[in-house]
Structure 1
Amino acid sequence: MPSILEVDVAQPEGFRPLSLDLRTPGAAGAPLVVFLHGGGWRRGSRKVFTPGIGEARSFDRIVAAGFAVASCEYRLSAEARFPAQLDDVDAALAWLQAHGAEHGADASRIVLWGVSAGATLAALAGLRRDDIRGVVDWFGPADLFAMAEHTTGEAPEDTREARWLGGPAADRPEVARLASPALQAHAGAPPFHIAHGTADEHVPFAQSEALAAALRAVGVGVELRPVPGGRHFWEGLGDTDVVFDWAIDFVARVTGHNREDHR
């Protein structure tokens, strides 16, 4: 079992403390995966990698491959709107860069890994920073204008995206543009690994196709892995080991880590 350090890393003025859980494989200098949970920006926990997938098959699997994993909190949309969550990611990264080495993590080799809403945050943070080795994006919203056209049965002002932005994308176009990774792609960004179920009813697969196309158009390395029949949070996928292995192999490549040392 990996060791787990729970630590408060920031307390934005007027808000609750924000914490992270740092799991390490024991050996010093482990490349660092910074994980951001899903939940539509309005719920979720750093304790859960993906609903329905336990620690042994998620966090522990990554640590067993020789990586440190920092699972980070951020303010939810009922607490603060975009871009507060990116400030929270920056605060977590700052703590890890200052203190990670004390706990065996090499914060000079960071990969951001996000799920759903957390994938949007991981993508945006990776696109705006120059110290990230790569981004793993699992089925994250990438173009909030296109997401606004996706039928959810909710009123436009009640969707998860609108609650995060402070209103529908059409009413807040500049904010929606800044919160859309597909519209923020630029040359020099870190490489991306994107995996998405083709039967996802909550975040259409077309969102990941749009992000991959935008990244490729500016020369950014990207691998897009469609998962036939996969639904949101990998529902309908009997064996999730394969999607974890794809992502872990990507993390190893971009951090220069030899997985064979940990098999």
Structure 2
Amino acid sequence: MTPGELLALIAAPHPDVAPLPPAAGRAAGVRVLRGVPYGVVEGGRPLELDLWLPGPEAQLPAPLVLFAHGGAWRRGRRDDMGVHTRPWEPGPFERLAAAGSAVACVDYRLSGEATFPAPLDDLRAALRWLGLRADELGIDPLRTVAWGESAGGHLASLLALTHTEPPLAGAVIWYGPADLETARPPFDPASTATPEALLLGAAPATVPGLAADASPVRQAHADAPPFLIVHGEDDVMVPCGHGEDLAAALRAAGAPVELRTVPGANHGWIGLGEEGVEEIFTASLEFARKVG
């Protein structure tokens, strides 16, 4: 047996054909499958996602929410929708599944592993895998809504604006960066030390073409799916102007968009009471269900 034959024999099954892990049952018949491999990157870690599937009373195939986590493209966990939602029981993804939507919480390569467009490519790979296994999972990939917070909101915006096979049904964007070209304190496009520079692999001002490709405001077009953009007016990390400018670009292109700016809310909804966060989550869930 040659080394190549031996490697083929002992290697883990490719995610396209690998058996799904066992599902854990939750309330209302919701099932969760954790750590499902969806992609293989040569020389890198396997890419995984968590799947939340609705209970037996749900209408199948179920619409899909693809969730991208935050963390400045540098850190973060796929099962984290932000500091306010961490103590919720049931958690936000279980709530989405209980309402009838499947949810895929997706890993993507962080900026310490690979630079843009790698994380966006990973979300595309997740969509491809979910489409391939759709019948087995009971999901409808033609009714996919991208939902992201912070850096994940940036990636969800780009995915919704640029993915065409198939096009997405909508996007829910919580306080996501939308412009990697314009100086907005604390962001300086000439600096090599910002999260944006680490994402691109260079100061954005020195790679203008790449910075434009990575800026959702530059990708708005008339055929974009419906967007819900929610942004805190007191955000000191990603100023509210990002959400406002993305909404303006979508409107100018003739695309459907709802913009909600939240008084008193900082990044991650810090400064907002629990009732306010619950209201934002409920409105986002209802939007996802309406367009998905």
> What's the TM-score once normalised by structure 2's chain length?
0.83
Deviation sequence 1:150-180 (CA, Å, 0-9, x none): 2269992111001001112111111000000
Residue matched to 2:68: 36
Question: Number of residue pairs matched?
Answer: 254
Contact 1:212 1:222 in 2 (8 A): yes
Structure 1 unaligned residues grouped into runs of 5+: 256-263
Q: What percentage of aligned pairs have identical amino acids?
A: 49
CA–CA distance in structure 2, aligned partners of residues 155 and 58 of structure 1? 38
- Considering only CA atoms, is the larger Rg found in Structure 1 or Structure 2? 2
Structure 2 unaligned residues grouped into runs of 5+: 1-25
Task: Provide runs of 4+ in structure 1 moved above 3 Å.
Answer: 152-155
Contact 2:232 2:262 in 1 (8 A): yes
Give the drift of 1:254.
Answer: 0.8
The letter for the 2-side match of 1:144 is L
**Match among 121, 128, 135 for residue 171 of structure 2:** 135
Contact 2:124 2:163 in 1 (8 A): no
> What's the TM-score once normalised by structure 1's chain length?
0.92
Over 3 Å counting, the alpha-carbon distance change for 1:142 and 1:152 in structure 2 is closer
SS in 2 for 1:45: coil
C-alpha RMSD of the superposition: 1.6
Contact 1:111 1:135 in 2 (8 A): yes
Give the drift of 1:52.
Answer: 3.4
Which one scores higher on RCO, CA 8 angstroms, separation ≥ 6? 1
**Match among 82, 85, 89 for residue 53 of structure 1:** 85
Q: Does 1:13 align with 2:42?
A: yes
SS in 1 for 2:206: coil
**Match among 29, 37, 53 for residue 24 of structure 1:** 53
CA–CA distance in structure 2, aligned partners of residues 51 and 30 of structure 1? 28
CA–CA distance in structure 1, aligned partners of residues 200 and 272 of structure 2? 31
SS in 2 for 1:145: coil
When structure 1 is superposed on structure 2, of 25-34 and 131-140 the one drifting more is 25-34
Q: Does 1:77 align with 2:106?
A: no
Give the drift of 1:100.
Answer: 2.8
Contact 2:146 2:170 in 1 (8 A): yes
Contact 1:10 1:18 in 2 (8 A): yes
The letter for the 2-side match of 1:160 is P
The letter for the 2-side match of 1:52 is H
Residue matched to 1:259: none
Contact 1:194 1:225 in 2 (8 A): yes
CA–CA distance in structure 1, aligned partners of residues 266 and 62 of structure 2? 32
Contact 1:101 1:107 in 2 (8 A): no
When structure 1 is superposed on structure 2, of 217-226 and 239-248 the one drifting more is 239-248
The letter for the 2-side match of 1:82 is F
